[in-house]
Amino acid sequence: MKKETKITIIIFLILLFFITFISIVSNKKNYELNLPEQGKLKSINIETQTNQKEIADDKEIQDIIYILTNSGKGRNTKQESINDFPVNTENIITIKFNFEEMGTSIIFVYIRNNNYYIEQPYNGIYKISGDEYNSIEKYIR
């Protein structure tokens, strides 16, 4: 084989490798926090290890959903949640949405390594600010 042909094949294989690598990295699933509509909720239960509170006031429910959606902008992440319950975390706040019709859905707000997160089981893990964490925590104090 000619030297030019070998170089061409090597360049082609390197390019093919980079295209495959970029394709795999960019195709990572993008998760979006799925919160219920306020009109479909009967109440929200907020729990910590020591306290529990049920919130049925429409204004408070609206405020909680607003905080969780990042002030109406929505939340996206590429971090997947693969558990029913967060692991290696501190100060977990459990938020359970009770629907008018039937059933519930659940999310967790917590601290891990001095960062604040929302985790929706089997969906995604979303970073939040300390102020957002405190805004949720105030409902349980």
Question: Which two three-digit tokens encode residue 52?
Answer: 């529990």
> pLDDT of 23-78, one tens digit each?
766 666 778 899 999 999 999 999 999 999 999 999 999 999 999 988 657 787 77
Contact 65, 39 (CB under 8 A): no
What is the 8-class DSSP label of residue 79? P
Contact 101, 16 (CB under 8 A): no
For tokens 């996206």, name the residue. 76
Instruction: Read off the pTM.
Output: 0.78
CATH architecture of 32-137: Sandwich (2.60)
- Domain edges within the chain: 32-137
Calpha distance 19→24 (Å, rounded)? 9
Average pLDDT, the chain: 89
> pLDDT of 86-98, one tens digit each?
989 999 999 999 9
